[in-house]
């Protein structure tokens, strides 16, 4: 790994958005022409496959990435019930 100017290790970071739905709060229809269908329409479940994660992780290491920042998106279910 490369060192920065101050002698510390550089952080090579990958930003991972966990989920597809976070940009679809108005539904996908506003982004597509009439009759055109979205490739990844919003779903009620999280799409994150373990084999894909393992492959991405392997390739990130090969590319020298040493930090992953995960944007939880809809990857966490928040319980907002009043006490």
Q: Is the pTM of this model over 0.75?
A: no
Residue 31 lies in a domain: yes
Q: Establish if 42 belongs to a structural domain.
A: yes
Is there a domain that residue 5 lies in? no
Number of Cβ within 10 Å of residue 65's Cβ equals: 15
- Per-residue pLDDT at 77: 72
Q: Is residue 3 part of a domain?
A: no
Residue 4 belongs to a domain: no
Question: pLDDT tens, 22-52?
Answer: 666 555 556 667 777 767 676 777 777 889 8
Please state the domain count of the chain.
1
Collapsing DSSP states into helix, strand and coil, what is residue 33?
Answer: coil
Q: Which domain holds residue 50?
A: 13-71
């Amino acid at each position: 790994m490369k060192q920065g100017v101050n002698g510390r290790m550089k952080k090579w970071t990958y930003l991972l958005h966990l989920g597809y739905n976070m940009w679809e709060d108005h539904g996908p229809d506003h982004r597509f022409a009439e009759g055109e269908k979205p490739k990844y329409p919003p779903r009620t479940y999280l799409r994150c496959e373990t084999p894909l994660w393992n492959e991405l992780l392997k390739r990130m290491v090969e590319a020298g990435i040493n930090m992953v920042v995960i944007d939880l998106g809809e990857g966490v279910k928040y319980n907002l019930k009043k006490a």
